Chain A
Amino acid sequence: MKSLQVTPKKARLRNRIELLDIIIFIILLAITLAIILPFLNVIAISFSTQKDFMDSRFMLVPKKVTFANYKAILQDGRLWVGYRTTLIFLLIGVPINLFLTTSMAYGLSQPGFPLRKFFVYFIIFTMMFNGGIIPLYLLMKQINLINTIWSVILGAGINSFYLIIMRNYFMSLPSSLMESARLDGANEWQILFRIIIPISMPIIATITLFYSVDRWNEWYFAMIFIRKNELVSLQLALRSIVMEGQASQHFNYTDVNAIEFSDGMKMGAVLCTMLPIMCVFPFLQKHFVKGILLGAIKA
């Protein structure tokens, strides 16, 4: 974070606030408000009654605070299922992502490795050319992964872009480190885990964060590969609450007992899915800024 705040030195020399500063401040403030106000609006609606919402949707604080919306969401249970599935994606998926990405990135970062160039092109080719969803779907079906969490976890096993970022970072490390470790008789795995990973924490934290956010927001693979109510991902649970209003029980109208979602509940569900990111985000922010500085863009 600090490195971003190094203002050009001249600023220090001339520290008056000029008209330009005020204009810039106002512009940035307006943009910031354009982001904050919708969130306030969503929060306010989630705590309002349907009647207050009907009277005026333009509200930043609820007229009368009610928790009924949240109670109904929790009773509905779909979000719980979503949370459960998405946590599984996170807890199993992200370690797999990291293992595959780190080991391959390190393996391909060693300058002496003869197949290095070939495999880098092997990866880049898939970034430009991919089979698309249908062959992947048919593959998943063939290997019986449809309707299991593995279809989503393995389908999103490696993100080539993150892999390249990580490899670039490993390549920027001084090679003398690994050379001397090799002379001491360490094998490559020991080098990776004892030397490389400890000094690469910023990039690993960054990539972990990227993968975690991706798994958290997972919906497309989950929508196509998983068609089981008890394995709905969080984003799809939210989608079914927000977009479809309610899932009607098709077969038997004597059993219809579904909750109808009002707008307050929909917005409450939006907030519930956002909450973890909102809580974790400020603490992680400085890591990924550092990570970007270090490895992402070769300037």
Chain B
Amino acid sequence: MARSLERIKIFFKDLWKWRSNCIMILPGVIWYIVFAYIPIYGLTLAFKSYRANLGIFRSPWVGLENYVYVFRDPAFLESIWRTLFINFGRILFQFPYPIILALLLNELRINRFKKAIQTVLTFPHFLSWVIVASIMINVLGSRGLVNSIIKILGGESINFLGSEKLFVPLLYITENWKSGGWTMIIYLAAIAGIDTEQYESAEIDGATRLQTMWHITLPGIKNTIVVLFILAVGNIMVQGFDQVFNLSNPATARVAEILDMYIYRITFKTAADFSFSTAVSLFRSVINFILLLSADRITKWLGSEGLFS
């Protein structure tokens, strides 16, 4: 008892010593409490029946009633499945592209073009999806740039925008078009940090360029890849709303309905029922939390530093 009292004393003494730090973080902490933790408390709406006149706090509890409605709608489970499908696909098809780009650009020895190419590839990342989507709709339309080129080459024009089959690949391609170059920069930065001695000794051993790439460059950026991988997994349930929202249309509405689109639809496009929508959001957060923790565990288990170590 006395000892713990002593500890508390020391703690507060310490705290007093760092009081100006406390004041420093205070605005940030207040922001987190108000704009992050109160909304997290707001998730209790999932188990309440929201009444506008009573507010979040005093709305009556209804237990799991909202989930009865949620699971009654087959579109809900379908949207979860679709989110997982699309975003795991991103890890397979979208994730490697910036790595490959970085390796290629790193090997490019025509220095004059290196900087120019890097600038061009990075630029689209800074545009919003509203802009990128309108460019894409224009370029990929039945009489747009891409189909015109296909026709000149003697092919049949392809329906990019309204095809349910092409929609998901289109997501991967446009995402890489927009942000592949940006992520590439992160890898390039990691490559620049690799010890040049390793390359010299490889050179002396007579390794080919491909061998050097495989045995030195790639292992050299392994940690970066792992960090971005965990982030990608952590984004599985929340990724892509901007993109899907702006690129989809009624013809692709069914395949485009990821969970966030579903939440948007039930919240803002039909009669709003805040409790019902929150119930779905909570479900999403929980799945995401589990995915992120398991990704972290798996990478630690594989021998890499986790994200939150």
Give me the interface of A with B, judged by CB distance under 8 Å. 1, 3-11, 13, 15, 17, 20-21, 24-25, 27-29, 31-32, 34-39, 41-42, 45, 56-58, 99-101, 103-104, 106-108, 110, 112-115, 119, 122-124, 126-136, 138-139, 142, 154-155, 157-158, 163, 187-189, 192, 213, 216-217, 219-220, 224, 235-236, 238-239, 242-243, 263, 266-267, 270, 273-274, 277-278, 281-282, 285, 288-289, 292-293, 296-299
Contact = CB atoms under 8 A, between A and B. Distances in A.
Contact of B110 (A25, A154, A189, A192): A25
Given A104-B25, A188-B20, A131 B135 contact: no
Contacts of B105: 28
A139 B145 contact: no
The 10 closest A-B pairs by CB, nearest first: A135-B42, A131-B39, A104-B28, A58-B148, A132-B281, A107-B25, A217-B128, A135-B39, A107-B24, A10-B203
A114 B15 contact: yes
Contacts of A277: 126-127
Interface string B277-293: 11001101100110011
B21 A188 contact: yes
Interface of B: 11, 14-15, 17-18, 20-22, 24-25, 27-29, 31-32, 34-43, 45, 55-56, 101, 104-111, 113-124, 126-128, 130-131, 134-136, 138-139, 141, 143-145, 148-149, 177, 181, 185-186, 188-190, 192-193, 196, 199-200, 202-203, 209, 212, 221, 223-224, 227, 234, 241-242, 263, 267-268, 274, 277-278, 281-282, 284-285, 288-289, 292-293, 308
A30 B172 CA distance: 18
B interface secondary structure, majority: helix
A297 B39 contact: no
14 contacts: A8-B212, A9-B200, A10-B212, A24-B104, A24-B108, A34-B177, A38-B139, A57-B143, A129-B40, A131-B38, A134-B274, A155-B35, A297-B227, A299-B193
B20 A119 contact: no
